[in-house]
């Protein structure tokens, strides 16, 4: 049985993951509601992601010296306020502002939560513990996103954000009851810790994190119109496909944590190789619905197999500033989210079809693979067979 504090963190990550990803399933409804195009509605994904990017260092500084439980509860408060704003927003611009406010809680919550999860278990299970916390994020794609999409299609997209508010209240209660109160915040000097994060051995895995999410969100941001316009699914059928892809995310996340505790770099390299191959296959089978579902499940699993190994790589490379490194890596992931959504939207604006977006994503993943291989070549082959992150 996993420790209750990690399960409480997983409940919160479920709520955060739902509010982050469900907008992708609601792009047509939101676009129609405010009279904007689907690519313009897609910028709500970019706006949220940039909120994480900008908010991560700001909130990291603001919460650095707070006890970790206090910081987590404060971040849940911001999350609740942001989702209330989304549910009530009368205009597109105010919806964007509410999304950005919600995003400010994201990076620091996952950053602090990952350190808490890591420190609650033996060293040989650290990546698995982080993966379990992130399982809430992946389960959001299995349950939260499909159900939120269906709810939004039937009762209006605002109803989905009201449901997320309820999830946030449950998460806050779980953290209050289950997370230990004696976990301290940062004790060192913040300036020296930020300097420590400027080293290339720390920046490299952050950059790889960014590239992994650029690749994913170049396609996934527009997955609903992709499935409708290329694969021939009905709007209602998209819900089932998102459910299947969410299952792949969850299995891949947990498997990635388990494999990475045995071989961190081998897991990262193997995942990138698989992502490139699967994206190329997706281009060829996108017009075949059944094959598309199978490929999307595999692709989703491979992408999220990277999450916890990359998070641990960053945290252990910055062992003298783990809280800040963990938080800023969430900013790096979401910089990739925003960039991927922008790249995909720009490509569509210039006439590239939904079915060709996986080619762009594959090229980005190749760059991430190349950077990972340079880390291995510089630090020695021993990194492939151990969980040590190396330099």
> pLDDT tens digits for the chain (391 residues)?
567 888 889 999 999 989 888 887 788 888 888 888 887 888 888 788 778 878 877 887 787 777 778 888 999 999 999 999 999 999 999 999 999 999 988 888 888 888 888 877 777 787 888 888 888 888 887 788 888 888 988 888 899 999 999 999 999 998 988 887 766 655 555 566 667 677 888 889 999 999 999 999 999 888 889 999 999 998 888 878 888 888 888 899 889 888 888 888 999 999 999 999 999 999 999 999 999 999 999 999 999 999 989 988 988 887 766 677 778 888 888 788 778 988 998 999 899 999 999 999 999 999 999 999 988 876 654 444 444 444 4
pTM for the full model? Answer: 0.78
Instruction: Please spell the DSSP secondary structure of 165-224, one letter per residue.
Output: HHHHHHHHHHHHHHS-S------S-HHHHHHHTTSHHHHHHHHHHHHHHHHHHHHHTTHH
Please enumerate in sequence order all residues whose Cβ is within 8 A of that of 9, keeping only pairs 6 or more positions apart, or say none.
Answer: 72, 113, 116, 117, 133, 136, 175, 179
Q: Tell me the domain boundaries of the chain.
A: 4-385
Q: Which CATH number fits domain 4-385: 2.60.130.10, 1.20.1250.20, 3.30.460.80, 3.50.50.60?
A: 1.20.1250.20
């Amino acid at each position: 049985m996993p420790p209750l504090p990690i399960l409480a963190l997983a409940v919160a990550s479920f709520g955060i993951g739902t509010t982050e990803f469900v907008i992708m399933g609601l792009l047509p409804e939101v676009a129609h509601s405010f009279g904007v195009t689907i690519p313009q509605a897609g910028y709500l994904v970019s706006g949220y992601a940039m909120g994480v990017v900008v908010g991560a260092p700001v909130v990291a500084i603001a919460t650095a010296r707070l006890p970790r439980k206090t910081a987590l509860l404060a971040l849940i408060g911001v999350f609740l306020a942001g989702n209330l704003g989304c549910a009530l927003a009368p205009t597109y611009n105010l919806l964007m502002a509410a999304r950005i406010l919600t995003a400010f809680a994201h990076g620091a919550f996952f950053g602090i939560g990952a350190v808490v999860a890591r420190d609650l278990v033996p060293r040989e299970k650290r990546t698995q513990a982080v993966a379990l916390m992130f399982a809430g994020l992946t389960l959001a794609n299995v349950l939260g996103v499909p159900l939120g999409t269906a709810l939004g299609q039937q009762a209006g997209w605002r109803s989905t954000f009201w449901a997320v508010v309820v999830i946030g209240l449950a998460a806050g209660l779980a953290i209050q009851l289950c997370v230990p109160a004696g976990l301290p915040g940062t004790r060192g000097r913040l300036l020296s810790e930020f300097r420590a994060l400027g080293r290339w051995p720390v920046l490299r895995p952050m950059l790889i994190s960014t590239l992994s999410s650029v690749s994913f969100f170049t396609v996934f941001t527009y997955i609903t119109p992709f499935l409708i316009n290329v694969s021939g699914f009905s709007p209602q059928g998209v819900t089932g496909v998102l459910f299947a892809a969410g299952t792949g995310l969850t299995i891949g996340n947990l498997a990635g944590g388990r494999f990475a505790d045995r071989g961190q770099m081998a897991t990262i390299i193997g995942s990138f190789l698989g992502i490139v191959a699967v994206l190329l296959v997706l281009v060829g089978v996108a017009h075949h619905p059944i094959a598309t579902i199978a490929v999307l499940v595999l692709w989703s699993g491979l992408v999220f197999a990277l999450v916890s190994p990359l998070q641990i790589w960053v945290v252990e490379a910055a062992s003298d500033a783990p809280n800040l490194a963990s938080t800023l890596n969430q900013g790096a992931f979401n910089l990739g989210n925003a960039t991927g959504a922008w790249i995909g939207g720009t490509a569509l604006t210039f006439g590239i079809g939904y079915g060709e977006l996986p080619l762009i994503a594959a090229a980005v993943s190749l760059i991430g693979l190349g950077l990972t291989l340079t880390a291995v070549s510089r630090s020695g082959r021993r990194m492939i067979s151990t969980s040590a992150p190396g330099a």
